[in-house]
Structure 1
Amino acid sequence: MMSRPLLVALLALLMPSAMAQSADTPGLLVMAHGGDPAWNASVEDALAPLRELYPVALAFGMADPASLGAGLGELADQGAERVAIVRLFLDGRSFLHQTEYFLGLRDDPPAQFVLHGAHGAPAGRGAGSGHGATRGHAQAGHGSGHAAGHGAASATPEPVAHGLDLALSLDGLMKADEVALILAARAEAISQSPSEESVLVLAHGTGDDVENARWIAAMERLTGDLRADGYHAVRVETLREDWPEPRAAAERAIRGYVEAETEAGRRVLVVPFRLSGFGPYRDVLEGLDYTASEAGILPHAAVTDWVDREYRALVARAGWASPTP
Structure 2
Amino acid sequence: MLTLRRAFLFLIVVTGLPVSGGSEASRVGVLVMAHGGSPVWNRTVKDMVKEAGIEHPTRIYFGMGHTKEEADLLQAAIKHLEGKRVHTIVVIPLLVSSYSEIYRQWRYLLGVDVNPGFNSTSFFPVTRRATIEFGEPFNDDPIISLILLDRAREISQNPGQESVVLVAHGPNDDSDNARWMQMLSRVCRTIQVRGRFKSVQGMTLRDDAPNEIRSQAVASLRGHVEAIGKEGSRALVIPYLIAPGGIENKVGIALKGLDYTLNAKVVAPDHRLAQWIRSKIP
TM-score, normalized by length of structure 1? 0.70
Provide the rounded CA distance (Å) in 1 between the counterparts of 2:206 and 2:19: 44
- Structure 2 residue 34 is the aligned partner of structure 1 residue 32: yes
What does residue 252 of structure 1 align with? 219
Cα distance in structure 1, aligned partners of 2:20 and 2:148 = 37
Does the CA contact (< 8 Å) of 1:92 and 1:170 recur in 2? no
Taking the aligned partners of 2:261 and 2:240, their CA distance within structure 1 comes to 15
Partner in structure 1 of residue 166 of structure 2: 201
Partner residue of 1:275?
242
Alignment of 1:276-291 (within 5 A): 276-277=243-244, 278-291=248-261
Partner of 2:43: 41
> CA–CA distance in 1 between the matches of 2:118 and 2:220?
25
**Secondary structure in structure 2 of the residue aligned to 1:157:** coil
Partner Cα separation in structure 2 for residue 233 and residue 159 of structure 1: 44
Q: Secondary structure at the match of 1:47?
A: helix
1:55 aligns with 2:57: yes
Match of 1:302 in 2: 272
Counterpart contact for 1:59–1:70, Cα < 8 Å:
no
> What is the aligned partner in structure 1 of residue 200 from structure 2?
234
Q: What amino acid does structure 2 have at the position aligned with 1:60?
A: F
Corresponding letter in the other structure for 1:185:
D
CA distance in 2, matches of 1:217, 1:52: 32
What is the alpha-carbon distance in structure 2 between the residues aligned to residue 101 and residue 260 of structure 1?
42
Q: Tell me if 1:185 matches 2:150.
A: yes
Question: Is it true that 1:311 corresponds to 2:281 in the alignment?
Answer: yes
Aligned residues: 255
The 8 Å contact of residues 183 and 223 in structure 1, kept in 2 or not, is answered as: no
Tell me how large the CA RMSD over aligned residues is: 2.5
Q: Which residue matches 2:94?
A: 88
Is the CA contact (8 Å cut-off) linking 1:83 and 1:164 kept in structure 2?
no
C-alpha contact 1:93 1:146 (8 A) present in aligned 2: no
Give me the whole-angstrom Cα distance separating, in 1, the residues matched to 2:54 and 2:148. 28
CA contact (8 A) 1:26 1:83 kept: yes
Give the corresponding residue for 2:4. none
Gaps of at least 5 residues in structure 2 are: 1-17
- Which protein is bigger by CA-based radius of gyration? 1
Higher mean Cα deviation, 276-285 or 211-220? 276-285
The answer to which of 96-105 and 211-220 deviates more is: 96-105
